[in-house]
Structure 1
Amino acid sequence: MPDSLPPQPTLSDGVVVLRPWRDDDIAEAIAGHDEEIAHWFGFPVVQPSYEQHRAAVEDWRRWYAEGRSRVSFVVEHDGRLVGSVEVQDRGNRTARLSWVLYSGHRGQGFATRAVRLLIGYALDELDMQRVEAEVEPGNERSLRVATRAGMHREGVKRVAPGTGDRPETTEYVVLARLASDPPLSDPTGFRTLLNSFLPRKRAIAQMLLRDPEDRVLLCELTYKRDWDLPGGVVEVGESPQLAAVREVEEELGLKLPIGPLVLTDWLPPWGGWEDALCLVFDGGVHAPDVLHDVVKQEREIRSARFCTVEEVRDRATDFTARRVEAALRNLSADPGGTRPYTESGR
Structure 2
Amino acid sequence: MTAPLTDGDLTLRLALDDALVVRFEVENGQPLGTVEIRRTTPGVGLVMWALDGGAELAQRALRLLSEYAFDELGLERLQVEVDVELRSSARVAIRSGFRREGVLRGAALVEGERRDVAVYGMRVDDPRPDTVTGWTALMDSTLPKKRVIAHVVVRDTRGRVLLCQVSYKKDLELPGGVVEPDEDPATGASREMEEELGTALPLLGVLAIDWLPRWEGWGDAVEILYDGGVHDPALIDRLQPDGFEIRGVSWHAPDALVGLVSPLNARRLPMILAAPDQLHNLSNGTPIIS
What is the Cα deviation at residue 329 of structure 1?
4.7
Cross-structure match for 1:342 = 282
In the alignment, the residues of structure 2 paired with residue 133 and residue 239 of structure 1 have an alpha-carbon distance, to the nearest angstrom, of 33
Counterparts of 1:21-40 in structure 2 under 5 Å?
A: none
**1:324 to 2:269 alignment:** yes
Counterparts of 1:1-346 in structure 2 under 5 Å?
A: 6-7=1-2, 9-20=3-14, 61=16, 64=17, 66-67=18-19, 69-77=20-28, 79-81=30-32, 83-102=33-52, 105-106=53-54, 108-158=55-105, 164-166=108-110, 167-169=112-114, 171-332=116-277, 335=278, 338-339=279-280, 341-346=281-286
Which structure has more strand as a fraction of its residues?
2
In the alignment, the residues of structure 2 paired with residue 245 and residue 322 of structure 1 have an alpha-carbon distance, to the nearest angstrom, of 25
Deviation track 1:248-274 (CA, whole Å, cap 9, x = no partner) reads 111112231111112111111111111
* Cα contact 2:10–2:27 (8 A) shared by 1: yes
The alpha-carbon distance between structure 1 residues 96 and 285, as it changes in their structure 2 partners (threshold 3 A), is: same
* Structure 1 segments unaligned to the other structure (5+ residues): 1-5, 22-60
The alpha-carbon distance between structure 1 residues 329 and 114, as it changes in their structure 2 partners (threshold 3 A), is: farther
In the alignment, the residues of structure 2 paired with residue 126 and residue 255 of structure 1 have an alpha-carbon distance, to the nearest angstrom, of 53
In the alignment, the residues of structure 2 paired with residue 192 and residue 223 of structure 1 have an alpha-carbon distance, to the nearest angstrom, of 36
In the alignment, the residues of structure 1 paired with residue 282 and residue 51 of structure 2 have an alpha-carbon distance, to the nearest angstrom, of 46
Deviation track 1:301-343 (CA, whole Å, cap 9, x = no partner) reads 22211111222222111112223234335514xx5xx53x211
TM-score (norm. length: structure 2): 0.89
- Secondary structure class of the residue paired with 1:147: helix
The alpha-carbon distance between structure 1 residues 180 and 214, as it changes in their structure 2 partners (threshold 3 A), is: same
* Cα contact 1:264–1:279 (8 A) shared by 2: yes
In the alignment, the residues of structure 1 paired with residue 267 and residue 223 of structure 2 have an alpha-carbon distance, to the nearest angstrom, of 13
* Cα contact 2:75–2:124 (8 A) shared by 1: yes
Cross-structure match for 1:46 = none
TM-score (norm. length: structure 1): 0.75
> Counterpart of 1:342 in structure 2: which amino acid?
L
Larger Rg: 1
> Counterpart of 2:95 in structure 1: which amino acid?
R
In the alignment, the residues of structure 2 paired with residue 331 and residue 154 of structure 1 have an alpha-carbon distance, to the nearest angstrom, of 42
**Identical positions, percent:** 37
What is the Cα deviation at residue 174 of structure 1?
2.1
* Cα contact 1:265–1:323 (8 A) shared by 2: no
* Structure 2 segments unaligned to the other structure (5+ residues): none
> What is the CA RMSD across the aligned residues, in angstroms?
2.2
Q: How many residues are matched?
A: 285
Which structure has more helix as a fraction of its residues?
1
In the alignment, the residues of structure 2 paired with residue 274 and residue 79 of structure 1 have an alpha-carbon distance, to the nearest angstrom, of 48
